[in-house]
Structure 1
């Protein structure tokens, strides 16, 4: 890693085959009222001309933009390459289709200076459309002042990748980004949460999350292959445990139901090994006290895992309840439900 430059903000932007929005994202980082700022453009093996745009942007602003041309490995490894190259005291992650508001760094650095015990500063994020019309403000839970990432992370990834600003020292503690294809940012936040990091809140809008017709990772809930679901849910649970969340916490109970739903879904798809692992994890979430899970396990031994999942899913649909604190609707799954 490079020698740290005091007061410098390093903006890490991974991109792959997405040239339409990238100039706007870069400009939002260049337009910050705070300086100095450096931008690491991490091209993840683009093949549609985005790689040339990345090179052109770096040539236009050579003092501020560094282009990294990488083999295609996914957004996590691309961000990690940027993190390794970053020289700043502060780290900002930004996806190539989102926007930072001009005073973001000034506000959040001031909050971190005022609260040296905090390692992350965050503020309000707005959901906007392709024309930057505001759809939801604040988006997700970014209008709430929360002292730590957990237990809320068990219910939702309650901010966006661009919402927080990190001290570089914390990013070094968190370690490298995961190669999970989806939700690697949630897993990254969970490792920060496991450290019981204190958060500094800025009660002002700091970023825009763009809702558009292109592909985003968080547009639906069926985002992980079974093996990655096992990795993701296990990592989130272990991080919550490390942070001190107990089985009787409402958020842990919610998470246990979510993992149980995932176990049923992968069983229906025929991945019995993943289903067994996820059911065991759901049981651990409830401290092995759930009668429903005990009945499910016994039934699976009699009629098989796939048939048990089919019957259970049919029953769940039959007695389905509206959205509430004991259901599984996450804010990222439907932006109109941005409060739990």
Structure 2
């Protein structure tokens, strides 16, 4: 678990790992240059539980490099990721370890999730519908994964050039090594907050990186060189604010920096951003209803809670998926961006 200024949520996150039903593990934590008091909290936790191996970094390495660093300090053949502001279900590690032990050809397993805000309120329901769709983007959050260490090393680990989408970049490469599994139960609680690395980092840099992600999965290699980014970038970043209980607050940047055109994607993103600016609470309520309905529509397929395989969709799936897709002017445009991202 890399930690960077996660103070308000750090105790709940650490406690959720220490209270796991599978208790035989080492908990490798790197403080990645925190300045908000997280370092002192981490020292207190390390003094209370010998399973914690704490390392203090004076300077931030960034998302990908800090993630590689903590993996390099671990000694287990199975490695679980944890984000410092999220919460793990007590059975998470046990269920994931069992899934990998039962499937020797699998190299990674993630878990479905529920979204919580800064106060711990459950705002976003589980979404099993995403398991039934072909998509180049995972149905599980980064912090929920467990993987085989040897497969991670063979894949080359996280890449710094993919900062802010280092998880998706890793999955593309690990899928070439083994199967990727998903537990359809919500064994992870992903917190949306203003402390998200994507929101606290320099916004132009983050927007450019996320734009690069969408271009890669969309098979778009040409860069117009105008400094503009795909409209979907702002849905991706604004969704974190929206599910944290705030307004997406992206309309201004979308108008200034988005590559807008006379097409369905631009219209849908502008509508989403404007709605979020005027009434974020009703937008959240609408999206919650959509997620609940589509989850209910497929619940019979996943009622047994058994792991299922996630196959990364081809790039063409990008234009059909409502999960996290991107396109460009001249590409086949999706009918709707993921307004429930």
TM class by shorter chain equals: 0.5 to 0.7
1:219 Cα shift?
10
| Counterpart in the other structure of 2:16 | 28
Deviation at 1:44, TM superposition (A): 0.9
Counterpart selection for 1:189 from 155, 167, 171: 171
Listed one character per residue, the Cα deviations across residues 40-60 of structure 1 (whole Å, up to 9, x for unaligned) are: 111111223222222222122
Pairing 1:9-20 to 2, within 5 Å after superposition: 13-20=1-8
Aligned partner of 2:54 in structure 1 is 67
* 3-state SS of paired residue (1:111): helix
- Quick check: 2:135–2:323 contact (8 Å CA) kept in 1? no
Alignment of 1:42-191 (within 5 A): 42-61=30-49, 63-70=50-57, 71-139=59-127, 144=131, 152-153=135-136, 156-179=137-160, 180-191=162-173
**Structure 1 residue 226: deviation in Å?**
8.0
Deviation larger for 316-325 or 195-204:
316-325
**Alignment check: 8 A CA contact 1:41 1:67 kept:** yes
Cα separation, 2, equivalents of 1:318 and 1:105: 39
With over 3 angstroms needed to count, the CA separation of the structure-2 counterparts of 1:157 and 1:24, relative to structure 1, is same
Q: Which residue of structure 2 aligns with residue 267 of structure 1?
A: 226
262, 273, 290: which is aligned to 1:315?
262
Root mean square deviation of aligned Cα: 3.9
Report the 3-state secondary structure (helix = DSSP H, G, I; strand = E; otherwise coil) of the residue aligned with 2:112.
Answer: strand
TM superposition score normalised by structure 2: 0.63
* Comparing 78-87 and 320-329, the one that deviates more: 320-329
For residue 157 of structure 2, give the secondary structure of its aligned residue in structure 1: coil
Q: What is the rounded CA distance, in whole Å, between the counterparts of 1:186 and 1:85 in structure 2?
A: 22
State the structure with more CA Rg: 1
| Equivalent-residue separation in structure 2 for 1:332 and 1:233 (angstroms) | 7
Q: Which has the higher contact order (CA 8 A, sep 6+)?
A: 2
1:137-183 deviation digits (Å, cap 9, x = unpaired):
224x686268xxxx622xx3432112221122212212232224421
List gaps (5 residues or longer) in structure 1. 1-12, 238-254, 276-309
Structure 2 runs not aligned, ≥5 long: 231-256, 273-316, 327-336
The CA deviation at 1:200 is 3.1
